[in-house]
Amino acid sequence: MRLDSDMISYDAPKPRSLITRSLAGASTRPFWLEDAQRPVFPDGPNVPTKWDLLVVGGGFTGLWAALLAKEADPELKVALVEGERIAWSASGRNGGFVESSLTHGQENGRVRWPRDFDTLERLGIENLDQIEATVKRLKIDCDFHRTGSLNFATEPHQAEELFALDPEKIAPAKVLTAAEAQAEVNSPIYKAAWLDTRTNANVNPAKLAFGLAKAAAEAGVEIFENTRVLGLGKDGNRVGVLTNRSTMSVGRVVLATNVYPALLKRYRPFTVPWYDYALMTEPLSKAQLKELGWKNRQGLADLARQFHYYRMTDDNRILFGGYDAVYYPGGRVKARYDNRPATWEKLARHFLITYPYLEDVKFTNMWGGPIDCSTSFVAFFGRGLDGLAAHAAGFTGLGVGASRFAARVLLDLVFGRTTELTELEMVRKLPLPFPPEPLATIGIQTAKWAADKADHEGKTNLILETLAKLKLGFV
C-alpha cells in the first residue's frame, strides 16, 4: 500500500521488542569484509630494501596512489605497506557511496573556495567518471552502478527550503514533491526530495579495494600486509623508513594513513576520529521489494546536518547508517569503539520508522569504525622531509570517491609537479587545527548539540553561526 505523507518523524516511538528482535543474532563484522574474494599479500620483507616510491596505507587513497604511479611509469619501483590487511578499516566499512563532490556539497564549497569552486565541481565529476572508467577497463567486479542520489526532506522546514530553489539554477537536478518522492521510494517520512542522477554511484567498497589491490599487484606494485611504519627520517636525498619488519630506503613516500596518527607529527592536530555506525538487513523478499519501490536503486540520504545514509545492495539488502556519529573524549582510535549497541538500536528504530511495513526484516550485520574528520569536512594535504613525503587526510566521509583525486594530488606533490591540482587553494592551505583536549571534546559535543537543535527547529543558532564564520564544520 502507498503510505500518506504526514508529520511522522524520527522522534516517533517504536516498540522495543521490535528493535530487539530485528537486531537479534546480527554479526558485528562489517558486511563488506565477509566477502571471500579478499586477496592475501605477504608480510613485509625482513631485510633492508630500496624503493623509488613507498605508499603507506592499504585503503583507497594508498591503493589509488600506488596504481596510478605504476601505470604512469611502469619502470618505477613501487611498494605499498599496510599495518593490518588491505581495506580492513574505513575502506571496508563505509556505506559504498562514490560521490563526485570534493567539497561536501555545493554550499560548503562555494563559501570556502569561491575562486576554485567551479573547477572543483568539474574535477569532481571527472574524478567519478575516471573511477567508473577504471573499473570497466580493469574489469573489477565490485557492483559499481552510476545510479545517482535522492536526498530526502524528513522535516517540514527542509521541504520548504527545497521548494524555494530555482529549478533553472539547479538543473539537471530537480526537486520532487512528497508524492513524487514516495513514488521513488515508499516511506511516510519523506516530505520532498532532491534528485540528482549523475553525481553519485554505489559500489561494494571492499570489492573495489580488493580489485584495486589486485590490479596494482599485477602492474608490478609490491604489496605487504601486517607491516607497520614506526618512523620516518630524511637520509640524504632519500627517506629512511623503519617498520616492524625491517628498514627501507625510499626515494619518495606517500602517506595515506588517514584517521590514524600522522607519521608527520605536525599534521596530527588537523584530524580527529568520528565513529560512524551502520546496519545491513537480510535480503528482502519480492513482496517487500514491491512494497518498497526503489526501482532505480539510487543512493539515499536525508537533508539533516546529522543525516542518515542508506542504499540497496545487488542482493537486495538495505544498508542503513549514519546519524549518530560519535566522538569519544580523548580523540583516540580504539577497537572497542567499533561496537556501540545504543547507536545500533537507534538506527534500527529509525529504520522501522522509515519503513514501517518492513517490521519483519532482520539485520544480519551491525558494525562501526572511525572516520578521519577535519574542521573543513574535506581532505587536506601537506608535505614534509624537504618535499620527499606527502600526506593527505581528513576526508570526513567522502573518501570512497575523493581518495582517487587525493592520490593524484599526493603524487604531484611528492614528485614536485606543478599542476592544476596543486594550485588549488584546498591543496595549498591547511584547515584550522582542532584544539587540544579537553577543549576538543567540549567544542565537538557543543557543535553536535547545536546541529541537532537546528535540525529539529529548522533554523540556525548562535553556535552554528559562529562556527560558520570561523569556517569550522559545515558552513
Q: CA-CA distances (angstroms) from residue 456 to 84, 160, 306, 362?
A: 41, 14, 10, 29
Is 171 in the same domain as 278?
yes
364-412 pLDDT per residue, tens: 999 999 999 999 999 999 999 999 999 999 999 999 999 999 999 999 9
Q: Which residue has the higher pLDDT, 250 or 447?
A: 250
pLDDT tier for residue 453 given thresholds of 50, 70 and 90:
confident
Residue 288, in any domain of the structure: yes
Is 53 in the same domain as 28?
no
Sign for the pseudo-dihedral over CA of 266, 268, 269, 271:
positive
Q: What is the mean pLDDT of the chain?
A: 94
pLDDT tier for residue 281 given thresholds of 50, 70 and 90:
very high
Question: Cβ distance 273 to 262 under 8 Å?
Answer: no
Pick from 61, 35, 381, 400: which is nearest to 216 by CA? 61
Q: Which residue has the higher pLDDT, 55 or 168?
A: 55
Interacting residues of 261 by C-beta distance below 8 A, sequence separation 6+: 268
Number of folded domains in the chain?
3
224-251 pLDDT per residue, tens: 999 999 999 999 999 999 999 999 999 9
pLDDT at res. 3: 41
Identify residue 112 by its one-letter amino acid code.
R
pLDDT at res. 2: 41
Is 355 in the same domain as 282?
yes
CA–CA separation, 400 and 430 (whole Å): 21
Is 184 in the same domain as 288?
yes
pLDDT at res. 475: 54
pLDDT tier for residue 159 given thresholds of 50, 70 and 90:
very high
Question: Cβ distance 204 to 19 under 8 Å?
Answer: no
CA–CA separation, 420 and 185 (whole Å): 40
Is 286 in the same domain as 333?
yes
Is 330 in the same domain as 464?
no
Neighbouring C-beta atoms of residue 443, cutoff 10 Å: 18
- Averaged over 174-186, what is the pLDDT? 97
Residue 433, in any domain of the structure: no
The pTM for the full model equals 0.95
Identify residue 85 by its one-letter amino acid code.
R
pLDDT at res. 1: 38
Pick from 240, 247, 225: which is nearest to 46 by CA? 247
Q: Where are the alpha helices (DSSP H) in 116-252?
A: 117-137, 156-163, 167-170, 178-184, 205-219
- Averaged over 102-130, what is the pLDDT? 94
- Averaged over 95-117, what is the pLDDT? 93
Is 315 in the same domain as 423?
no
Pick from 87, 43, 39, 41: which is nearest to 63 by CA? 87
pLDDT at res. 36: 65
Is the predicted pLDDT of residue 5 greater than 60, yes or no? no
pLDDT tier for residue 198 given thresholds of 50, 70 and 90:
very high
Length, in residues, of the chain: 475
CA–CA separation, 133 and 138 (whole Å): 9
58-98 pLDDT per residue, tens: 999 999 999 999 999 999 999 999 999 999 999 999 999 99
- Averaged over 469-473, what is the pLDDT? 70
Is the predicted pLDDT of residue 470 greater than 80, yes or no? no
CA–CA separation, 11 and 135 (whole Å): 41
Interacting residues of 121 by C-beta distance below 8 A, sequence separation 6+: 106, 109
Beta-bridged to residue 202, according to DSSP, are 97, 145
Is the predicted pLDDT of residue 4 greater than 50, yes or no? no
Q: Which residue has the cell 529539529?
A: 456
- Averaged over 189-202, what is the pLDDT? 96
Residue 99, in any domain of the structure: yes
Is 300 in the same domain as 352?
yes
CA–CA separation, 216 and 303 (whole Å): 37
pLDDT at res. 37: 82
Supply the range of the domain harboring residue 420.
49-131+205-271+376-428
